Amino acid sequence: MYDNWEELENDAKQCRKCKLCQTRNNVVFGVGNKNANLMFIGEGPGADEDIQGEPFVGKAGKLMNMAFEAIGLKRDEVYIANIVKCRPPSNRNPEDDEAMACLNYLRNQVILVKPQVIVLLGSVALKNILGKEYGITSSRGKWVEKKGILYMPTWHPAALLRDETKKIDFINDLKQVMDKMSSLVGQNN
């Protein structure tokens, strides 16, 4: 357990706990508002993220930014991270041992950010956070509450690049998130 960001980020940036350390250029720690009420969790860095050291800056990220704009959400209002912090070669899915080795960092990020709502982007995020029994096709768009956090599973933005029809689902899921955020703010006042 870490009680401060500096130590957590330093350890992650030097991490060699799984084999992804051998092929990465940069550890992609996470980005955004560390006091955000809303967090997004993706899968792992792609080529652009590996070079720039920031999550969701490539094609999928640009699409995500456009969706954010469409629903009136600012990227710097939220906190964004991934299941694994180093790029899986050829963008393959992270393997279980890699996700297991890395998840402790993400869990600590969640503890430090303390979001009320977390959006799970795609199947890898869903299964690693909520459990293997969840499937993205049946779970997306439906709230799951676990240990005081509300989770909204939705498509991974890269899936929207392959199948345009998923864009409407993605926007609808994010709209549900925005509605929830406003009702939570109402409750807190």
**Residue of 20, 64, 81, 125 interacting with ligand SF4 (CB under 6 A):** 20
- Quick note: the x/- pattern for ligand SF4 over 97-126, rule CB under 6 A, is -x--xx------------------------
Tokens of 98: 């890699």
105 within 8 A of 12, measured Cβ to Cβ: yes
User: What span, in angstroms and rounded, lies between the C-alpha atoms of 130 and 128?
Assistant: 6
Q: Is 4 exposed, middle or buried (0-12, 13-18, 19+ CB in 10 A)?
A: exposed
Closer Cβ to ligand URA, 163 or 179, answer by number: 163
29 within 8 A of 9, measured Cβ to Cβ: yes
Task: List residues binding ligand URA (CB under 6 A).
Answer: 42-46, 49, 55-56, 58, 60-61, 82, 158
Single-letter amino acid, residue 42: G
Question: Is residue 41 a contact residue for ligand SF4 (CB under 6 A)?
Answer: no
Q: Which stretch binds ligand SF4 (CB under 6 A): 19-27, 55-63, 124-132, 171-179?
A: 19-27
Closer Cβ to ligand URA, 23 or 183, answer by number: 23
User: What span, in angstroms and rounded, lies between the C-alpha atoms of 52 and 27?
Assistant: 9
Single-letter amino acid, residue 170: F
Closer Cβ to ligand URA, 115 or 122, answer by number: 122
In 35-124, beta strands by DSSP E: 38-42, 79-82, 117-121
Tokens of 99: 């996700």
Question: Is residue 84 a contact residue for ligand SF4 (CB under 6 A)?
Answer: yes
Minimum Å gap between C-beta 167 and ligand SF4 is 30
115 binds, among ligand URA, ligand SF4, none (CB under 5 to 8 A by kind): none
Question: Is residue 17 a contact residue for ligand SF4 (CB under 6 A)?
Answer: yes
| b/e per residue 18-35 (b: at least 16 CB within 10 A) | bebeeebebbbbbbbbee
Give how far Cα 153 sits from Cα of 39, 46, 62, 90, Å: 12, 20, 20, 25
Closer Cβ to ligand URA, 42 or 115, answer by number: 42
18 binds, among ligand SF4, ligand URA, none (CB under 5 to 8 A by kind): ligand SF4
Q: Which stretch binds ligand SF4 (CB under 6 A): 14-22, 49-57, 133-141, 163-171?
A: 14-22
